Structure 1
Amino acid sequence: MDVKKQIIALSYKLFGNLIEKNEIDKISLCTDLKEELKFSNIHLSLIEYLCVALFCSCACFVISTPIISVFILLITEEVFFGLFLAIFGSFFLCVVVCVGFYFLPFMLKGEQNKRIDDILPFAMSYLTIMAGSQNPSVSMFKTISRFDEYGEVSDEAKKIVAEVEMMGLNFKDALSNAAKRTPSKKFKNILEGIKSTIEAGGDLKSYLKDTTKELMAFYKIRLEKYENQVMLLTEMYLTAVIVGSIFLLVISVIFSVIGTASNELIISMQLAIVILILPASSAGFILIERGIAPAQA
């Protein structure tokens, strides 16, 4: 048993009865969370997920309280004041952990949805080519499942092929199951459209070709929007971070010359700007840029 399974088992042992007895999993917020867990690739039941959230919150409180207490004690040399701040700070961290656990499935679903929508035009282009070569529908998904470049679409294709070939499920039913699993509305509509086209005996190649053109048009708009966002972020970064940091350094030098602040304070401020603010701002800019960047096949 790996560490992950051990933590899940221990969490359920400690908090499982508490959650089930008080029916915490039936609260409206938890009901919404249950729906999001289905799309976020977190392979846990709602009760297991709540148990892990409570376990991590309690562990955070137990670990952070003595650390914060010692840190504040070294600064203030006040035992009771340090203990009070440590308990308050640890409780705040517990709340942050709980809130983080609640929003994590929503965030994972959003990221997965974004990845699917960004890679979908390229995956559909490949499916259109496969449909033009008169391949059976299952073979199209089997072929695209071999290419990791298509990310989430390839993963979903693998599940469809597995349900058909290993579980003996009807191909149209496998498409319906995939449409229910995926967090992407676009991909869901495409899967349902493929199913409807097959049932009606329509031209699958024409449907996929028209869908690909529409997706490519949306992707082009997405790229233009991304370009404008990057330009805006770059201007904000140069103005607020680079120019702002230089301005603060100049102001600190002026204060040092006129003697309105101690040298230790000025040096500390300059070090904070150079060592903390600039690297943190640069890292934040890179993370934001990568977050809004569209995927490419």
Structure 2
Amino acid sequence: MITSRIVTWLVYKNPKKYGDIHNDLIGIRSGKTLEQFLNQALMVGFLTGLIFGIIGVITGYALFSLNFGLKPELYNVLNISFDPETGNLPIIILIQILLGTVLTIIGAIVGYWTYIMIPALTKKGRETKITIGLPNAVSYMYAMRKGGAEIITILRSISEMSAIYGEVSYEFRQAVRDADFFGYDIINALKRLSETTPSSKLRDFLQDLISTVESGGNLSDFLKDRVMNLQEEVKFEQKEFLQFLGLVAEIYVTIFIAGPLFLIVILVVMGMMGSSAILELSLIGYAILPIGATIFILMIDTISIKDENVVTYVRAKWLNQYSDVRISASGNEEHLFSALAKFEKLQPVKQWLSNPLQGFIQRPELTFIFSVPAAVIYASYFFLTIPIGTLEDTINYLDDQVMIALLIALIPFAFFYTRWNQIVRSIEAMIPDFLDRMAGINEVGITLTQSIAVISRANMGVLGYEIKKIHRDIEWGANFSDALIRFEHRIKTGLIARTVTLITKAATMSNSIASLLRIAANDARISENLKRDRFSEMFIYTAIVYLSFFVFIFVIGVITTQFLTVLAEQSKSGLAMAGPLANLGSTSLITMDRLLYHICLIQGLCSGLVAGLMGESSIKAGVKHSCILIIGALIAFNFMF
């Protein structure tokens, strides 16, 4: 009841802003009303405020009641008179209340407005995905229209292919729903969709499509021209995206590689070697670096132009044309059926045992079945054989072994994923040439099935092996569409899934699809150029990440071996030390060395993942970079410093 009144008051005070939020909710297809969403936002704000308030109360108590070795001037900015031995309970309680209240208000505001921003951010992400996927969807619409399909049939077909066309399919699904269940004709359904879609490109396309249909224009020519225009626009958007990605890479290198190194040097030079320095360096290594890398990974993943996850479905049809025909039962056939069932169960296992590496290449995640237990066994052995000593000695003994165990788990996956990625990249690089050849052969009157036979004899690199498989399937009785679908199931990528879907749909309607094949080839070429441009543009930033990391290691190594060690020896020898480095002897050199070493390892893990995501649009590709950087840190600190 109270929240409803608050919501009403908020909307009344700022109708334009909350009207935009309502439009954002419609644009992301959330299925929530504005009142429901604002109630949830208020609840989130209340919970975050409560959490922040509890943290504030605990922090206020800890600062004045516990001895962390912190200097009073670090937190007692108001210069309150306080006796830490006798205590001053009213002041402590007052500070706890004030700090808790301030953090409660801050937490509530941050939680509420963060939740309020989610629809706008989600809408922006959907807009990008719709804009990128629109040329592929329009190509599919052109293929169906060229075969004579009506507009409602085209929209219904594309709305059922969300695994291939992603957010575009979800948008067209709205128009199909309005036409099927809410009594709209297709024109009004498209008009309604144009008013609610978050993508301006889709809105313009729908308005032009409606004008073409209402005026009786040639829909096939319109779709063909629009595909060409959209593909050209995608090229420009890709260039803008790469420029923005380069800016993000520079920000990451500056803030989370050069920045921590600068802070570490400053801390050492200023002589903050007491517990406060340990605390601040621990925050840098164990909190700031992982959290910062996670934020950048999420941000890059959100803005990245990448293929939708391909989910394939196999639709089996059971034919009962002869279900009423009597069949004479033959004796002694049960063992044949049981043998066939046993063969079908054992065949995948035998096939994998005959070439286990091929199974790992096609599904790199299967390596974890063996690598993770091996890593656990390796780590368990060292955990069970820990020598008796101090906590610092135990950490010094175990940290290397934990990182080696992590490498045992990750290196096989990184190797096979990289190998599979190379194979897929080689196949996708030949797809445009393959489609162009099919179009050229189809233009002279040769059928699609015959064109596969002709191309199978040509030199098509890695793709040639798959084309020969397609030709063999056709020779053994499969039709053209089924052979291509099996090829799609073997190489599960977005580009191949879109291409196969486009060709098979067009092939079911016409055997002369040369112009469509040209469009598909151009689309594949654009996708391939994006990947190649991204790899080449981001290669320099990946190299900068590597160079910065090794400079990071070098500076840390110099600090630990040439600076801290000398100062510690002087402190132990009793030499007088004054100034900011006078407190060096109070801090364990082993603890500082371990902390800086851990910072390097965490930096290597995080930087590798970010480098892979920037360069190859996949965090999986960053595993190999992380392994290389971690190995570099292990070698440097164990054999060089």
Tell me the residue number matched to 1:194: 209
Alignment partner of 1:68 is 2:56 = yes
C-alpha distance in structure 1 between counterparts of 2:30 and 2:154, whole Å: 28
C-alpha distance in structure 1 between counterparts of 2:99 and 2:61, whole Å: 10
Code of the residue aligned with 1:27 in structure 2: it is N
C-alpha distance in structure 2 between counterparts of 1:277 and 1:27, whole Å: 37
Tell me the residue number matched to 2:191: 176
Code of the residue aligned with 2:241 in structure 1: it is Y
> Which range is displaced more, 188-197 or 276-285?
276-285
Aligned pairs (5 A) from 1:110-125: 110-125=124-139
C-alpha distance in structure 1 between counterparts of 2:156 and 2:134, whole Å: 16
Q: Is the 8 A contact 1:16 1:48 kept in 2?
A: no
Tell me the residue number matched to 1:42: 30
Equivalent of 2:284 in 273, 277, 284? 273
Code of the residue aligned with 2:193 in structure 1: it is A
C-alpha distance in structure 2 between counterparts of 1:263 and 1:17, whole Å: 53
> Which range is displaced more, 204-213 or 245-254?
245-254
Alignment partner of 1:234 is 2:249 = yes
Aligned pairs (5 A) from 1:80-159: 80-148=94-162, 149-159=164-174
C-alpha distance in structure 2 between counterparts of 1:241 and 1:60, whole Å: 27
Alignment partner of 1:162 is 2:150 = no
Tell me the residue number matched to 2:541: none
Code of the residue aligned with 2:62 in structure 1: it is L
Shift in Å at residue 159 of structure 1? 2.4
Alignment partner of 1:208 is 2:223 = yes
Code of the residue aligned with 2:39 in structure 1: it is C
Label 1:177 to 1:63 Cα distance change in 2 as closer, same or farther (>3 A): same
Shift in Å at residue 47 of structure 1? 2.8
Shift in Å at residue 63 of structure 1? 4.4
Per-residue deviation, residues 172-213 of structure 1 (Å, max 9, x unmatched): 111111112211111111112112111111111111111111
Equivalent of 1:27 in 6, 10, 14? 14
SS state at 1:41 partner: coil
Equivalent of 1:79 in 61, 78, 93? 93
5+ residue gaps in structure 2? 66-91, 308-493, 495-641
SS state at 2:29 partner: coil
C-alpha distance in structure 1 between counterparts of 2:299 and 2:44, whole Å: 27
Q: Is the 8 A contact 2:133 2:165 kept in 1?
A: yes
CA RMSD of aligned residues (A): 2.5
Which structure dedicates a bigger proportion of its chain to helix? 1
SS state at 1:262 partner: coil
SS state at 1:183 partner: coil
Tell me the residue number matched to 2:293: 282
Q: Is the 8 A contact 2:125 2:303 kept in 1?
A: no
C-alpha distance in structure 2 between counterparts of 1:174 and 1:157, whole Å: 10
Structure number, greater radius of gyration: 2
Q: Is the 8 A contact 2:49 2:111 kept in 1?
A: no
TM-score (ref. length: structure 1): 0.83
C-alpha distance in structure 1 between counterparts of 2:10 and 2:107, whole Å: 25
C-alpha distance in structure 2 between counterparts of 1:147 and 1:103, whole Å: 30
C-alpha distance in structure 1 between counterparts of 2:58 and 2:4, whole Å: 33
Label 1:136 to 1:109 Cα distance change in 2 as closer, same or farther (>3 A): same
Tell me the residue number matched to 2:371: none
Q: Is the 8 A contact 1:25 1:31 kept in 2?
A: no
